Amino acid sequence: MPYSFLIVAICIIDQAVKIAVERNISLLQDIPVIGEYVSLTYVKNYGAAFGMLESQTILLSAVAGAVFLLAWFYRRQLRQYPKMLQMGIAFTLGGALGNFIDRIRLGYVIDYIDLHFWPVFNIADIMITVGAFWIVIGYLLANREHNKVHDDSGDEVVMIREETEEEQG
């Protein structure tokens, strides 16, 4: 994986913050950070995002393990994709690894960022979300580049495909 260092860095930062929360904040304690808008609140999440699949640690761990294996297996092919897509994959894997470590180590994920109108989440969740967004954008950019056509002079030409009578009906 070309961005292995990014995966490891995200995981280390995520785990360091979670350990600090675990050691310094009582369960369900609410510490305001930005007025009444953002707080640190230590929560144990026994499920996936938003508490879905509660108490399915083995299933969630198996899915994460499968994703890591696929990324490892296809790591060479990923190098040919746009940098944005590669970084998106690294962000997603770094966040997934951080939450995976929690599930293996504790049987739940430590969440602590509380916006009071959204379920409590953590840095790993942010990285997974940002990474997924970057993957989509990177994929769209890759397809756009792949679908470009050039005329004889080398200028880029926009192709408009017309449907044949067979395709129309």
CA distances from 133 to 66, 84, 88, 92 (A): 21, 10, 7, 10
User: Which one, of 84, 80, 88, 87, lies nearest residue 131 by Cα?
Assistant: 88
Catalytic residue, candidates 14, 102, 114, 125: 125
Is 125 among the catalytic positions?
yes
Catalytic residue, candidates 102, 111, 151, 155: 111
Instruction: Render pLDDT for 35-64 as a digit per residue (tens, 0 to 9).
Output: 999 999 999 988 766 555 555 556 666 776
Is 14 among the catalytic positions?
no
Domain range for residue 114?
Answer: 4-168
CB 102 within 8 A of CB 123: no
In the chain, how many domains are there? 1
Instruction: Render pLDDT for 124-155 as a digit per residue (tens, 0 to 9).
Output: 999 989 998 998 888 888 777 655 555 556 55
Q: Could you tell me the pTM of the whole model?
A: 0.74
Instruction: Render pLDDT for 79-129 as a digit per residue (tens, 0 to 9).
Output: 777 788 888 889 989 998 999 899 889 989 999 999 999 999 999 999 989
